Amino acid sequence: MARESRAAKSARAVEINAGLAEEYPDAHCELDFRTPFELLVATVLSAQTTDAAVNRVTPALFAAYGTPELLAAANVADVEFILRSIGLFRSKARNIVALSARLLEEYGGEVPGRLDDLVTLPGVGRKTANVVLGNAFGVPGITVDTHVGRLSRRMGFTRLTDPVKVEHELGRLLPPEEWVMFCHRMIFHGRRCCTARKPECGRCPVADLCPQIGV
């Protein structure tokens, strides 16, 4: 593929976003949550774990510890027991208990709506913060998970692997009001069609716009 100008790449990103919007009109965050706190906890739990696996443990977790007050006071071993079926459950149990305590100490038990505050919480990085901001607060942000990163490289939007740098590159291609839904659509597409090992390019709705780098 010839070197693409920033304007051409942006125009192609807009077209791909539109194509994915048509293919996945119901694209959304696939973690189950009812409150910003539940989304924050679920997103921390989702690291190196599927959303489906997280959704299997959060009903019991939130039934017992559905608020920062309850989770901060929990015995970590009891939380570990609930989370035992997901990866890294011991460190995740410690993190969600600790972040609950921090919410009480520093934010009055409320989840803050600023990235700079969220990333100071135990177990919370930019990816988790952007998920929470976009889905609980309506704040534009780009979530670079494994799917968004992989598809962005295949589609020729970036050559980079560092999630923060990929986030910044994607942010220059689309208007902020499209960032959250673009990421939902990319994640849906990455799970359902443009998979890691055997992408189904033959049925991809945006194949004609994709250079299929590395495929």
Catalytic sites, residue numbers: 127, 145
User: What span, in angstroms and rounded, lies between the C-alpha atoms of 87 and 51?
Assistant: 12
The DSSP call for residue 144 is -
Q: Are 31 and 39 in contact (CB under 8 A)?
A: yes
Q: To the nearest 5 percent, what fractions of the chain are helix, strand and coil? A: 60, 0, 40
Beta-carbon contacts of residue 90 (< 8 Å; ≥ 6 apart): 80
Check: CB of residue 79 under 8 Å from CB of residue 67. Answer: no
Gap between the Cα atoms of 118 and 207, Å rounded: 37
Element (H, E) at 51: helix 51-64
Both tokens assigned to 179? 């960032």
Q: What angle do CA 214, 46, 154 make, to 5 degrees?
A: 15
